[in-house]
Amino acid sequence: SMAGMTAAHAYQSEVGADYNYVDYDNGASGDQFGIDATYYFNPVTDSNVPLAEAGFMNRAGNAKLRASFADAGNTDVSDIGIGAEYYIPDTDFYVSGQVARVDVENDFIGDYDYTRYAAEVGYLPTANFLIAAGLVGSKFEGDDSTDPSIRAKYVTRVGQHDWNFEAGGVFGDQDRYNLAADYYVDSTFSVGAQYVNDDLTDRDDFGIRARKFINQQASIEGNLGFGDNANTFGLRGTYRF
């Protein structure tokens, strides 16, 4: 159509690939590559919403597969997981779950693996506002660790523009919390910032990010992170069909 970007479009799958580079203050560096695929149980329409938020704003249930491979000098990590999100029809309730297998190869302490998992129950008190609580855990050679989690996500229009706000925390053995906001210049382009603080990995960093849909199928995004003990640079591409 001549309208191009304004025409409504539906998609049912999205695939993505990403690359992250980590530059540690102590002189070391690391690389991470990831691939992922998401299948939506019903077609998702993207009319009149920011393209990046179409799945969320349509309450689109989905199943997801992700694999990532990291090389940080003395340590190689592979992380392969599956997950699902489901919005219970004719209600404002939401559930999610994920499980992953992590394999670590370390030059000094040898090889080991563990399972990580998460589950949530959520509620949408109003349109495009999700509050979810759950459990995040890991299982390592018979040793289980489970901590409570809570998060919120809200997409709203302020004046002429849409905003995305996110906040979350995991509390217990491994306190972690994050804050993020994205400003939609238009439905195809966002710029944002995030803050992450994680006791477990001694992470305390601030980042900026941007995502642009080149057309209704393809997007590219980038992020820069500035932390206490490392700086990061990331690139990601996605394609919908």
What one-letter code names the amino acid at 186? D
- Count CB-CB contacts under 10 A for residue 90: 6
Nearest CA among 208, 206, 231 for reference residue 221: 208
pLDDT score, position 1: 37
Angle at 32 between CA 165 and CA 96, to 5 degrees: 45
Tens-digit pLDDT profile for residues 55-69: 999 999 999 999 999
- Model pTM above 0.85: yes
The dihedral region occupied by 103, where left means phi > 0, alpha psi between -120 and 50, and beta the remainder, is beta
pLDDT score, position 142: 77
Tens-digit pLDDT profile for residues 111-161: 999 999 999 999 999 999 999 999 999 998 878 899 999 999 999 999 999
Grouping H, G, I as helix, E, B as strand and the rest as coil, residue 54 is helix
Asked if pLDDT for residue 173 goes beyond 90, the answer is: no
Exposed/middle/buried for residue 105 (C-beta within 10 Å: 0-12, 13-18, 19+): middle
Nearest CA among 79, 89, 62, 84 for reference residue 113: 79
Which token pair is 3? Answer: 């309208």
